[in-house]
Amino acid sequence: MLLAVSGTQPQQRISRGVEFLPDATSRMQVQDMLDNSSLHWQTEQSDLLSYGMQKVPYWFRYQLPRLDSREKWLLEIDYALLDNLEVWFFDDQGLLSEYATGDSLPFRARTIRSEKFLFPVPQSPGPVDLLIRAQSSGSLKLPINLWQAEHYLVYSGEHSLMMGIFFGFLAAMGLSNFFFFLTTRAVNFLVYCGYVFCLGLTLLTLHGLAYKYLWPENIWLQGRSVVLFASATMLFAAIFSRELLPVRRFSMALDRGLLMVAGLFLMILLLGLLLPYWLTIKVFLIVLIIAIFFICGIGFWLWSKGVVVARLYTLAWVALLSSALIASLENLNLLDLDIRSHYLLMFGATVETVLLALVLAISYNQQRQDLFEAQERMLHKERQLREAQQQAQDDLEYKVQERTLELEITLRELSQSNRELEERNTLDALTGIRNRRYFDKKYVAEVRRSRREQTLLTVAMLDIDHFKSINDRLGHLVGDECIRAVANQIRLHLRRPADDVCRYGGEEFALLLPNTDAEGAAVLLEAIRQDIGALQVHTPAGPVSLTISVGFSTGAVHMDVDDNELLEQADQALYRAKAGGRNQVQTYNKESGVA
């Protein structure tokens, strides 16, 4: 490892001399880094640890300078969008401390609750070696700074003040334009308000402030927020450009082009909810660069046509979109900057919001004047049409109410008929209990609930022993009486509302016992078996004694388990009960098939 510069400075940037290693397999562990001397580490020669869009993790190692032991030191990684970040500190004696963080973990998991990644540097009499594993689904950067704790507190306070002023300015601009919309009902103000707020949320996310203050527990939103809010920002930008500038008056093709740009960013926003972040952010950055040139080109073209608002509009967008273009090129690893691209975006956003607010005010005044003139021309026609419109509206409302009442009556009758039909279709005509159709639906529902809540579910299959012999000797009417008697006896034992017994087919019954463990199920099923064994069924052919065989299976359904597994296991247990002499209860056992 390389030795860094003196550790007496209050703040040091760590870049040159850092060794890095891409982990193409994504499987290497920290012990592999320590034990394997054959790894081909590369040494960073530039002032920036930036590697563009990388899906694989990168390992970094560095030997920290000897630090003043009288001071507390912090290691800062000034990039808030790392998905996974693991840090180890070693000395000659071994591991000093280790940390795991990143925005794939809840914000509360961070050692120091900061929007940036901060780690206390452990004290050691000897050199301290730093090992880092970093992974990002977007751009992979690792701006590392070493700080004296006291100096960092001063810097953090100044930085927070600057952030507060900037985002307070954006919030004030957004809210003021929202109030303008409420009072004027001018859509341009609402679109501009949406643009400013989405831009603010984008910058809050890039700086890690949104994860800290707005959704510290929402990992899913944090992983997609950049592409969602940035796409929403450009969507509002395209709509705002189309509404503010008289594009359609000069070129319908360019007007359709702005609609297409808005549609592309809307599509990226929707895809950002579904597709992986690494894919959507690449598509977004490419479309963003094209949109920047397209929107600025329209502004310059309208400027050349003598459109007054196009001049300030173009200057405003050049300020922001130039900074956005530079940020996009840096994220694609096509450009190296000495200043964080986030701060360029803040500067561009400040200039742009001020100029656009001025353009919006000028445009609104012009639109208001045009509107007043148009209103004067329309007043006369409006008075003539008002009475006819009111009469037509009254007639329409009466007809709508009449048809609505008829429809409500019809729907109520249809709903009642459907409920009655559904009830009849799920009852077994012979026994009065639920039938196979009902069981199939209820079984699927209980399996899904068990999988979702990880609760136990018992499925039992019951079969009347030697039923075919009863049918053959005594007739089907006697067999029907026996089936009814068994169904009634089972139903008497089910006291919980969630428990269900269904006639599965012929002389076979199925039981669903949610939230029931194997021991409880065995007690219940054994009681059912004994009571049926003691039962004398009174039939036209005389008293008939019955026995049943029972097989059941109990378990919590896991994600990788087939829905029918519990049912199949219960059926196997029933088969073993019949093969073992009948008149018994068997439970499924994973090792031997059944107990």
- The burial of 53, by beta-carbon neighbours within 10 Å (0-12 exposed, 13-18 middle, 19 or more buried), is given as middle
Give how far Cα 421 sits from Cα of 322, 412, 415, 430, Å: 67, 14, 10, 17
Asked if residue 117 lies in contact with residue 124, where contact means CB atoms within 8 angstroms, the answer is no
pLDDT attached to residue 5: 38
What is the mean predicted confidence (pLDDT) over 319-335? 65
What is the mean predicted confidence (pLDDT) over 442-465? 93
pLDDT attached to residue 568: 94
Residue 4: band (very low, low, confident or very high) from pLDDT cuts 50, 70, 90: very low
Output 265 or 362, whichever has higher pLDDT.
265
pLDDT attached to residue 405: 81
Give Cα 398 distance to the centre of its chain: 46
What is the mean predicted confidence (pLDDT) over 268-287? 91
Amino acid letter, residue 160: S
Asked if residue 486 lies in contact with residue 465, where contact means CB atoms within 8 angstroms, the answer is no
The tens digit of pLDDT for each residue in 570-585 reads 999 999 999 999 999 9
Asked if residue 312 lies in contact with residue 358, where contact means CB atoms within 8 angstroms, the answer is yes
pLDDT attached to residue 304: 86
pLDDT attached to residue 570: 93
pLDDT attached to residue 109: 87
Element (H, E) at 199: helix 187-206
Give how far Cα 5 sits from Cα of 9, 59, 197, Å: 9, 22, 43
Q: For residue 572, what are the contacts with CB-CB under 8 A and spacing of at least 6? A: 551, 588, 593, 594
pLDDT attached to residue 60: 94
Mean pLDDT rounded to a whole number for the chain: 85
Tell me the C-alpha distance between 149 and 100, whole Å.
21
Output 12 or 87, whichever has higher pLDDT.
87
* 225, two tokens: 């927020």
What is the mean predicted confidence (pLDDT) over 435-440? 92
Asked if residue 128 lies in contact with residue 89, where contact means CB atoms within 8 angstroms, the answer is yes
pLDDT attached to residue 340: 59
Output 552 or 158, whichever has higher pLDDT.
552
Q: Would you say residue 465 has pLDDT above 60?
A: yes
The tens digit of pLDDT for each residue in 389-398 reads 887 787 788 8
Q: Would you say residue 332 has pLDDT above 70?
A: no
The β-bridge partners of 61 are 19, 131
The tens digit of pLDDT for each residue in 22-40 reads 998 888 888 888 877 778 8
pLDDT attached to residue 327: 67
Tell me the C-alpha distance between 230 and 342, whole Å.
13
Output 10 or 297, whichever has higher pLDDT.
297
pLDDT attached to residue 3: 33
Element (H, E) at 148: strand 144-148
Give Cα 546 distance to the centre of its chain: 56
pLDDT attached to residue 1: 35
pLDDT attached to residue 7: 47
What is the mean predicted confidence (pLDDT) over 399-415? 78
pLDDT attached to residue 330: 62
Asked if residue 135 lies in contact with residue 56, where contact means CB atoms within 8 angstroms, the answer is yes
Q: For residue 127, what are the contacts with CB-CB under 8 A and spacing of at least 6? A: 3, 63, 64, 66, 91, 92
pLDDT attached to residue 2: 34
The tens digit of pLDDT for each residue in 91-125 reads 888 899 999 999 889 998 888 988 899 999 998 88
Asked if residue 145 lies in contact with residue 12, where contact means CB atoms within 8 angstroms, the answer is yes
pLDDT attached to residue 574: 94
Tell me the C-alpha distance between 470 and 336, whole Å.
89
For the whole model, what pTM was predicted?
0.57
The tens digit of pLDDT for each residue in 469-528 reads 888 888 888 888 999 999 999 999 999 999 999 999 889 999 999 999 999 999 999 999
Tell me the C-alpha distance between 350 and 190, whole Å.
19
- The percent of residues above 70 in pLDDT, for the chain, comes to 92
Give how far Cα 237 sits from Cα of 194, 286, 318, 433, 504, Å: 9, 16, 13, 63, 62
pLDDT attached to residue 178: 87
Tell me the C-alpha distance between 371 and 362, whole Å.
14
pLDDT attached to residue 232: 95
Tell me the C-alpha distance between 348 and 539, whole Å.
93
Judged by average pLDDT, the poorest of 174-188, 198-212, 262-276 is 174-188
The tens digit of pLDDT for each residue in 10-21 reads 778 888 889 999
pLDDT attached to residue 417: 66
pLDDT attached to residue 283: 92
The tens digit of pLDDT for each residue in 166-185 reads 889 888 888 988 888 888 88
DSSP string, 306-359: T-HHHHHHHHHHHHHHHHHHHHHHHHTTS---SS-HHHHHHHHHHHHHHHHHHH
* 458, two tokens: 């018992």
Q: Is the dihedral of CA 421, 426, 427, 430 positive or negative?
A: positive
